[in-house]
Amino acid sequence: MQEIVEGMMKSKAKGFQGIVSMPRFQEKPADVGDVAQTMSLAAFLSRAGGNSELPFEKVDFKDAFLIVYSSGTTGVPKCIVHGCGPVLISSKKEGILHVDSGPTTVNLQYTTTGWIMYLMSTMALQHGARSVLYDGSPFLPDLKAFIRLVGEQKVTDLGISPRYLQTLASASPPVIPKEVTDLSNLRRVSSTGMVLPESLFYWFYDSGFPPSVHLNNISGGTDVASSFAMGNLLTPLYAGGCQGPGLAMNLQVYDQTIEGGKGIKGKPLPTGEAGELVVTSAFPNQPVKFWGDTSGQKYFDAYYARFDSNSPSPSSLTAQPLLISSTDVWTHGDYIFIHPKTGGVYFLGRADGVLNPSGVRFGSAEIYNVLETFFADDIQDSICVGQRRPSDNDESVMLFLLMKPGKKFHEQLVKEVKRRIGKECSPRHVPRFVFETKEIPTTVNLKKVELPVKRIVSGEKVTPSGTLLNPQSLEYYYKFAKVE
């Protein structure tokens, strides 16, 4: 805390007045008396002077409300500025129209404060709901601890991840929530963070929870502070996928094998075919801008550069982002298909190859950086992808190494690569499999192509794109689809 204060003071951060310290454990508050410009929460609240009247300031719809950061999986994290109106109207839309949240709602979302779902849990307050905040592991001191809290707090709306449900279902013996505590108040369980396997839908209703509980599978993003697809109270619920697109989201599926770029228009796919998630008309909760992106170029490149469709200039995006033409296409990077009969939206993973083992998202660039820093003498190049076949409950990370001439691929190298990745990144970054490869697929401009390899090792048959420099290189990777 002292370092944070000193850093803020040295940087002469505009508007910085001090830090309020709130103890994680109320019975053992930390002594912050020696930390400059820092006070306890109790001291801060005492300064209110008993004035209970809240001041309100009128702002424009798109005035900056808060900054959130992307995960940085494809480079430097995006510093995303969301507006007052966009966040509020999106929260109202999802909370009231999609899930009927109100004064009788008790919301418990398992999240860290750095994830966009923390914002969603606090926004429930504007519907009159009560939000329960939880700090710590949901599996300590035992697997039943978190679900007991749901009963004790009479939670009506619970937010968790597929990994949490999978852990309960696969425990020995399985943890059955409806047998652990009274769930008579529970109306809805929302799941997000990674793909929810169809098998967990069946476990949810056959074993885990009361049949009256609505399983709300949602998928959205930090970039929009909302969901692209989620549940609702009107249409039938089918196993697998999300019930349908969110209101005001003109969701379509484009052919993701098209590389895109200036002058390239996207190709809409027939309903039922898998491709890249795009939004083909403006929606209110688009980000206002990227912080520090004065020209708007980074904003434009992040969402609109891939498919050219009478796109406005970057400067007009920053000045008036809500006036983007309805012909412009927001490209989000998720690989999806829309069910031709149910209208459900099925998320199959990230179109750009973001790795996501156990719901922990990270980019291959982090792995490449370790290899280039510590193994440049032995490894010429590498490609890192996620493997998730239809039968898999989780994604496995596969790393393929192209050795330098005269250098040998051996077991000791594999062990050292895994050890170094675990040390420099985290244990969750360590690839499950490390193999040697003789060739890495690249485009004609020598950009390595991850997505076709990811699809191949996940059990798909891929037709090589015409933009590949060495399309024959893909054949080598098919044998790894059967690796266990």
Above 70 in pLDDT, residue 200? yes
Residue 307 contacts residue 253 (beta carbons within 8 Å): no
Secondary structure in 3-state letters for 37-58:
CEEEHHHHHHCCCCCCCCCCCC
Query: CB 315: neighbour CB atoms within 10 A?
Result: 13
**pLDDT bucket at 315, cuts 50 / 70 / 90:** very low
DSSP code, position 136: S
Structural domains of the chain in order of their starting residue, each with its CATH number: 2-46 (no CATH), 64-350 (3.40.50.12780), 357-482 (3.30.300.30)
Answer positive or negative: Cα dihedral of 64, 70, 74, 77: positive
Average pLDDT over residues 223-250: 94
Q: In 3D, which of 263, 220, 238 has the Cα closest to residue 120?
A: 220
The residue with greater pLDDT, 257 or 132, is 132
Kind of pairing, strands 130-132 and 106-109?
A: parallel
pLDDT band at 352 (very low <50, low <70, confident <90, very high): low
Identify the CA nearest to 38 among candidates 12, 9, 66. Answer: 9
Query: Does pLDDT of 354 surpass 70?
Result: no
Query: Mean pLDDT, the chain, as a whole number?
Result: 86
Whether residue 476 has pLDDT greater than 80: yes
Residue 229: other Cβ atoms inside 10 A: 24
Angle (deg, nearest 10), helices 364-374 and 411-424: 120
Average the pLDDT over 337-355 and give the result.
82
The SS3 call for residue 255 is: coil
Residue 227 pairs in a beta bridge with 220
Token readout for 378 is 């032995």
What pLDDT score was predicted for residue 350? Answer: 66
Ranking 31-45, 123-137, 275-289 by mean pLDDT, the lowest is 31-45
**pTM of the predicted structure, to 2 decimals:** 0.70
Quick check: 480 pLDDT over 60?
A: yes
Tokens of 323: 């006036």
Lowest model confidence (mean pLDDT) among 86-95, 109-118, 314-323, 463-472: 314-323
Q: Is the pLDDT of residue 479 over 90?
A: yes
pLDDT for the residue 317:
41
Q: Which residue has the higher pLDDT, 375 or 154?
A: 154
Range in 31-45, 193-207, 342-356 with the lowest mean pLDDT: 342-356
Q: Which of 65-79, 173-187, 260-274 has the lowest mean pLDDT?
A: 65-79
254, 354 contact by CB (below 8 A): no
Strand 379-387, strand 345-350: pairing: unpaired
Query: pLDDT tens digit string along 82-120?
Result: 999 999 999 999 999 999 999 999 999 998 787 888 998
No. of H helices and E strands in the chain? 13, 20
pLDDT for 393-425, tens place per residue?
889 999 999 998 899 999 999 999 999 999 998
Residue 450's pLDDT band, with cuts at 50, 70 and 90, is confident
- Estimate to the nearest angstrom the gap between the alpha carbon of 419 and the chain centroid: 27
Measure the CA dihedral 435/441/447/452, to 10°: -90
Tokens 């090792």: give the residue.
457
User: Do the beta carbons of residue 371 and residue 381 sit within 8 Å?
Assistant: no
Structure tokens at 309: 């469709």
The mean pLDDT of 418-445, rounded to a whole number, is 89
| Percentage of residues of the chain with pLDDT beyond 70 | 90
Tens of pLDDT, residue by residue over 374-384, are 897 899 889 99
